[in-house]
Amino acid sequence: MARYSNETGDGNIDPASIVSNVKNNIKQEIIKELLHGSFQDNKTKLGNDALTLVVEVAKCLVTETCLRASSQALKENCDKVDIEHVEKCLPQLMLDFP
Amino acid sequence: MAMFQNLSATQKLQAAVHKDVRGICTEASHFLGLEITKPAIEVIAELVFKKCRVYGSDLEAFAKHAKRSTINADDVKLLVRRNPSLKSRLLSLSSNCGKDKRRKSVPVVKQDVAKGASTSGECAANVQLASSLLESKESDVEDMVVDQIDLTFD
């Protein structure tokens, strides 16, 4: 389970390697439905390459939030990432992400 | 307990997002040897859900401003312009996308060729002829065809 915990040491995380190592993905159909739901104009269409990129942005958002919350939990010597850790990293995350 | 079928369209989408986010979150936190609790996952799922809606309206506005009705990759790049690392990641991904698109056309050819090979029972020369007739633009078609032959003969 904790494959990388020894390599990364105390809070020294390499996010890029973890992001590319995460195999799970958000399904394209879900993001497509979500985006179509928010369009004001019915004529707006979504290109295939654009959809791929939005899915990647969403995946990065999830992974980044999770990793920031995890490093917050490590700082506080907790072994479970709780809602308070997520809340603490939310403001900076909202500034960093579009 | 509410059945999935009885939920509204928005709730179904939320549930679907939640499921995928849970998968990513558990995997990412396990890399650091941590557990992630259910409320934390719910917050992140809600965050992604709301963010995607904002992205949708932003992307639509960008496309409209460019006098297009189709959102393309440039609009997404404009969306992430303030985050340089995310931008470079997307740039590398979109440059890989072109290769993937060309590769996508190969399996169709591959299947046709494989079907021809299995029905006729002929060997590689015939298959290569067929592949050159179908589409000889791709340089890696022949490699993949050879792979396919090995698979079928196994």
Mean pLDDT, contiguous 10-residue spans, chain A (98 residues) = 44 69 89 93 92 94 93 92 94 91
CATH of the domain at B33: 1.10.20.10
Backbone CA torsion sign across A80, A84, A89, A93: positive
Residue with tokens 């973890």: A18
Q: Percentage of residues in chain B with pLDDT exceeding 90?
A: 49
Q: Do the chains contact at A30 and B16, CB–CB below 8 Å?
A: yes
Q: In terms of pLDDT, which residue wins out, B87 or B117?
A: B87
The superfamily in CATH containing domain A26-96 is Histone, subunit A (1.10.20.10)
Residues A54, B90: Cα–Cα separation, whole Å: 9
> Would you call B71 helix, strand, or coil by DSSP?
strand
- Nearest Cα of chain B lies from the Cα of A2 at a distance, in angstroms, of 4
- Nearest Cα of chain B lies from the Cα of A28 at a distance, in angstroms, of 11
The amino acid at residue B139 is S
ipTM: 0.84
In a domain, B144, yes or no: no
Per the structure, the complete domain to which residue B65 belongs is given by: 9-96
In a domain, B21, yes or no: yes
- Confidence grade of residue B31 (pLDDT, cut at 50, 70, 90): confident
